[in-house]
C-alpha cells in the first residue's frame, strides 16, 4: 500500500525498543525466562497455537484497514510504523465490540486488533496514541508473549480440575501478567513517541477510565487521584492493591497516567526527541546483566517515590527498596526456578 507517511512529526531511524521500554518490563522478561520449564512451555504452546487460524478468524469476522477501508486508521498505522522505523507495516483489524480494547498478537507476522468501542471513544490524536502503543508492542517483540498469555489463561481454566497442573500453569500466568503490566507502561511511552503530544496521550488514559465526557474531567484532579491511590490509608490498603492485580493484564488507569506523566517530564522523553536514543543496530551489544540492574534500579526509584504505607514497611524491613523489590519478586518465582 502506498499511503505517504506523516513527515511533520519527528522520526526515529533505527530506534531500539530499549529507548522506551520500562526497565521493569525487560527485567520481568529476564525473570520470566528463568522459570523452570518456561522455554519448554513456550515451544509446546508455539506448536499448539496456530497464528494462521487467528489471522483467518479476524480476516473473516473483522475489517482489515487499508486505503479503501478505514483509510484514516490505516494512515495512523503507516505513520506509527514510519516514526518508530518498523517494517513491514503491520495489518490492523477493526472488530465490532463496544468494549474499548486493543491488542497486538501473533508470532511470525504480528498484527493489531482494535475494537470499535475504542475508536468510537477517541478523537484522531488519541487514536494515534493507541496505534503507536500497539506498534510499540510489536517492535518490542511483546506480541508473542501476549499471545502465549491468552493461550495459557484459557488452558489454565480448562485444567482447573487438575490441581498440580493448574497451579503450575497459574505460576507462569502470574509471571506473564506481571510482565504484561510492565509492558503496558513501556508501550504507553511508545504511543507518546508516535503521537508527540503528552496532553493528548493523557486524555486517552483519562477516557479509558471515565469515558467520552472529557469536559467533565480534569488532568490535575486525575493526577491527584493517582497520588491518593498510591498513598493509601494504611498497609492494609497496600495489600488490597496487590491482591487487586491478580488476573489483571493492565495497570490501573491512574497508575498508567502517573507513570506516563513522570516519564514525559523526566528528561528522557526530550532526549529521544532530540535524537539521543539507543539504536537497534546496537542491541546485540546490550548487556543482559545491565538490563537486570536497570530493572532493580527502576523498582528502587518507584518505591522511593511511593507513599504507600505497605511499600514503606517492606522497604524498611528489607533494608532498602532495591533489596525489597528483589525479595518480593523472589517470593513469587523462587519455587518455579530451576535448582542450581
Which residues are catalytically annotated? 134
Rg (CA), the chain: 20
Measured at the CA of 178, the angle between CA 172 and CA 179, to 5 degrees, comes to 90
The grid coordinates of residue 24 equal: 521493569
Of the candidates 12, 14, 30, 36, the one whose C-alpha atom is nearest the C-alpha of residue 326 is 30
Dihedral of alpha carbons 188, 138, 29, 177, sign: positive
Kindly state the helix (H) or strand (E) to which residue 269 belongs, with its residue range: helix 268-273
CA distance 46 to 113: 20
Kindly state the helix (H) or strand (E) to which residue 111 belongs, with its residue range: strand 111-115
CA distance 86 to 67: 19
Distances (CA, A) of 135 to 80, 90, 189: 7, 8, 11
- What lies within 8 Å, CB to CB, of 209 at 6+ separation is 222, 253, 254, 257
* Peptide bond between residue 331 and the one before it cis (omega within 30 degrees of 0): no
Q: How many CA atoms lie within 13 A of 297 on its CB side?
A: 8
CA distance 36 to 260: 33
CA distance 163 to 117: 38
Amino acid at each position: 500500500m502506498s499511503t505517504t507517511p506523516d513527515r511533520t512529526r519527528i522520526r526515529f531511524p533505527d530506534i531500539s525498543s530499549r529507548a522506551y521500554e520500562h526497565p521493569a518490563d525487560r527485567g520481568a522478561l529476564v525473570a520470566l525466562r528463568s522459570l523452570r520449564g518456561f522455554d519448554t512451555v513456550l515451544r509446546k504452546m508455539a506448536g499448539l497455537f496456530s497464528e494462521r487460524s487467528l489471522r483467518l478468524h479476524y480476516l473473516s469476522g473483522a475489517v482489515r484497514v487499508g486505503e479503501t477501508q478505514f483509510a484514516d486508521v490505516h494512515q495512523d498505522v503507516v505513520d506509527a510504523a514510519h516514526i518508530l522505523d518498523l517494517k513491514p507495516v503491520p495489518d490492523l483489524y477493526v472488530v465490532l465490540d463496544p468494549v474499548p480494547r486493543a491488542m497486538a498478537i501473533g508470532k511470525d507476522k504480528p498484527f493489531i486488533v482494535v475494537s470499535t468501542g475504542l475508536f468510537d471513544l477517541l478523537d484522531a490524536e488519541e487514536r494515534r496514541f493507541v496505534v503507536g502503543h500497539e506498534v510499540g508492542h510489536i517492535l518490542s517483540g511483546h506480541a508473542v508473549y501476549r499471545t502465549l498469555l491468552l493461550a495459557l489463561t484459557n488452558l489454565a481454566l480448562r485444567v482447573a480440575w487438575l490441581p498440580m497442573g493448574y497451579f503450575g500453569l497459574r505460576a507462569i500466568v502470574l509471571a506473564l501478567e506481571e510482565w504484561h503490566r510492565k509492558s503496558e507502561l513501556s508501550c504507553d511511552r511508545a504511543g507518546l513517541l508516535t503521537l508527540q503530544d503528552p496532553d493528548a496521550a493523557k486524555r486517552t488514559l483519562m477516557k479509558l477510565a471515565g469515558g467520552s465526557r472529557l469536559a467533565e474531567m480534569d488532568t490535575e484532579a486525575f493526577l491527584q487521584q493517582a497520588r491518593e491511590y498510591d498513598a493509601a490509608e494504611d498497609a492494609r490498603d497496600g495489600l488490597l492493591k496487590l491482591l487487586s492485580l491478580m488476573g489483571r493484564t493492565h495497570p490501573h488507569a491512574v497508575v498508567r497516567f502517573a507513570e506516563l506523566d513522570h516519564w514525559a517530564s523526566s528528561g528522557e522523553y526530550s532526549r529521544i526527541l532530540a535524537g539521543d536514543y539507543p539504536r537497534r543496530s546496537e542491541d546485540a551489544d546490550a548487556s543482559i546483566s545491565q538490563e537486570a540492574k536497570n530493572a532493580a534500579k527502576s523498582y528502587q526509584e518507584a518505591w522511593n517515590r511511593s507513599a504507600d504505607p505497605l511499600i514503606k514497611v517492606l522497604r524498611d524491613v528489607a533494608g532498602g527498596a532495591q533489596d525489597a523489590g528483589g525479595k518480593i519478586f523472589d517470593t513469587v518465582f523462587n519455587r518455579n526456578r530451576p535448582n542450581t
